C-alpha cells in the first residue's frame, strides 16, 4: 500500500468498484476499503444489467468488478472504516486494524433496506426464489401479471404500489402496522384499484404458490412481496466530516451534487 493514496474509496459495492476502475485507469493510486455487505450480494440473478442477456448474480457481478479494479492496480482491503479525519494532506481513515492516508476519499457506502419481521434463513430463501423482492425498478418486469403484495404504511409504500401497477393489475398494500392509511393515500389507491389490507404483516411463510403472511383479516399470500419500509442510509462517515444530511440520513447536495463541505482542494491552492 503506498504511503499516500490519490483516492481511498470507502465501500466496494457496484458504485465503489466502478469508481475504483475509473480512477485506477486514470493512473491514480487507489484503494477500496470494503465492509463486504453489498446489497448486490442479495441479488440471486439480475436481469436488467446491460451486457448480460441471460442475467448475472450480484455475487458474480461483484467478483468480476473486483477483478477489473485489481487488474488496473486498485487494492481492495476488506475492512470497515469507522474513523475518518481531515489532515494536512487530505484524509486519514481507520478501521479493523487498517489505516489509510489519501488526498481524497470517495464514499460509496450504500444503504440497507429495512426488512419486515422475517428470520434470516426464510428471508434468504424467499429472495432466492423471487418471492421477496426489494427493487421494483430493477425487477418489476419479472412480476408482470403476478399477484403482488407491498408492505408498508406510508406515502412511499403507496407510490411503490402505484409504480407496480404498471406491471400488474393485481397489487395489494398490506400495512406493516395497525391503524389506517391517511385518507388521501387510501383514496388514491382506491382509484388505481390497489387493495389495502390491514396490518400488521407478520408470521411470514413460504407456500407452493408464494409468500404468505398474517394480516388483520387473516392469512394472505402473494406470488411476490415487496417490502417498502425505507432504508438506513450509511452516511455516518460523511457526517463525521461535517456534511449536512436530511432527516432520513441522505447527504444534502446542491444542483451540482456538491455537499455543504468547503472545497478543501480549492482552499489549499488559493
Ligand atoms: C434483493 C435485491 C435485488 C436487487 N436487484 C437488483 C437488480 O436486479 N438490478 C439492479 O440494478 N439493482 C438491484 N438491486 C439494487 C443494487 O443491489 C444496489 O443498487 C447496489 O448494490 C448499490 O450499490 P452501492 O455500491 O451503492 O451500495 P452497496 O452495494 O450496498 O455497497 C456498499 C458497500 O459499502 C460497504 N460499506 C458500508 N459502510 C462501510 C464502511 N464504513 N467501511 C467500509 N465499507 C463500508 C458495504 O459493506 C458494502 O459492501 C437489488 C437490491 C436488492 C437488495
Model confidence, pTM: 0.94
Same domain, 67 and 123: no
Nearest to 121 by CA among 111, 113, 132: 132
State the residue range of the domain holding 119: 115-227
Check pocket membership of 80 for ligand 1, CB cut-off 6 A. yes
Q: pLDDT digit of tens for each residue in the chain (270 aa)?
A: 668 999 999 999 999 999 999 999 999 999 999 999 999 999 999 999 999 999 999 999 999 999 999 999 999 999 999 999 998 889 999 999 999 999 999 999 999 999 999 999 999 999 999 999 999 999 999 999 999 999 999 999 999 999 999 999 999 999 999 988 999 999 999 999 999 999 999 999 999 999 999 999 999 999 999 999 999 999 999 999 999 999 999 999 999 988 878 765 555 554
Residue nearest to atom 2 of ligand 1 (CA): 43
Summarize pLDDT for 80-114 with one digit per residue, the tens: 999 999 988 899 999 999 999 999 999 999 999 99
Same domain, 58 and 93: yes
Number of domains in the chain: 2
Same domain, 218 and 191: yes
Same domain, 121 and 202: yes
Same domain, 102 and 182: no
Nearest to 152 by CA among 224, 100, 228, 92: 228
Kindly state the DSSP code that residue 41 receives in the 8-state scheme. G
Same domain, 167 and 191: yes
C-alpha cell at 70: 485489481
Same domain, 181 and 121: yes
Atom of ligand 1 nearest to the CA of 58: 17
Same domain, 11 and 108: yes
Residue nearest to atom 5 of ligand 1 (CA): 43
The CATH number of whichever domain residue 96 belongs to comes to 3.50.50.60
Same domain, 221 and 254: no
Amino acid at each position: 500500500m503506498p504511503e499516500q493514496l490519490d483516492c481511498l474509496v470507502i465501500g466496494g459495492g457496484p458504485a465503489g468498484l466502478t469508481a475504483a476502475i475509473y480512477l485506477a485507469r486514470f493512473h491514480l493510486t487507489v484503494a477500496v476499503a470494503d465492509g463486504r455487505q453489498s446489497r448486490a450480494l442479495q441479488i440471486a440473478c439480475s436481469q436488467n444489467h446491460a451486457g448480460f442477456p441471460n442475467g448475472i448474480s450480484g455475487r458474480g457481478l461483484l467478483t468480476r468488478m473486483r477483478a477489473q479494479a485489481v487488474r488496473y492496480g486498485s487494492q481492495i482491503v476488506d475492512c470497515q472504516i469507522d474513523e475518518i479525519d481531515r489532515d494536512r494532506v487530505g484524509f486519514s481513515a481507520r478501521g479493523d486494524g487498517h489505516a489509510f492516508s489519501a488526498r481524497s476519499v470517495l464514499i460509496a457506502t450504500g444503504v440497507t433496506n429495512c426488512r419486515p419481521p422475517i428470520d434470516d434463513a426464510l428471508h434468504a430463501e424467499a429472495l432466492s426464489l423471487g418471492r421477496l423482492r426489494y427493487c421494483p425498478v430493477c425487477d418489476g418486469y419479472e412480476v408482470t401479471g403476478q399477484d403482488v403484495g407491498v408492505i408498508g404504511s406510508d406515502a412511499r409504500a403507496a407510490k411503490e404500489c402505484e409504480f407496480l401497477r404498471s406491471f400488474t393489475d393485481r397489487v395489494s398494500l398490506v400495512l406493516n402496522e395497525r391503524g389506517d392509511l391517511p385518507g388521501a393515500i387510501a383514496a388514491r389507491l382506491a382509484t388505481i384499484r390497489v387493495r389495502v389490507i390491514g396490518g400488521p404483516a407478520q408470521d411470514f411463510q413460504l407456500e407452493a404458490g408464494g409468500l404468505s403472511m398474517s394480516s388483520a383479516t387473516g392469512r394472505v399470500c402473494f406470488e411476490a412481496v415487496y417490502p417498502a419500509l425505507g432504508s438506513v442510509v450509511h452516511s455516518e462517515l460523511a457526517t463525521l466530516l461535517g456534511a449536512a444530511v436530511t432527516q432520513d440520513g441522505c447527504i444534502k447536495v446542491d444542483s451540482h451534487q456538491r455537499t455543504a463541505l468547503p472545497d478543501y482542494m480549492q482552499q489549499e491552492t488559493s
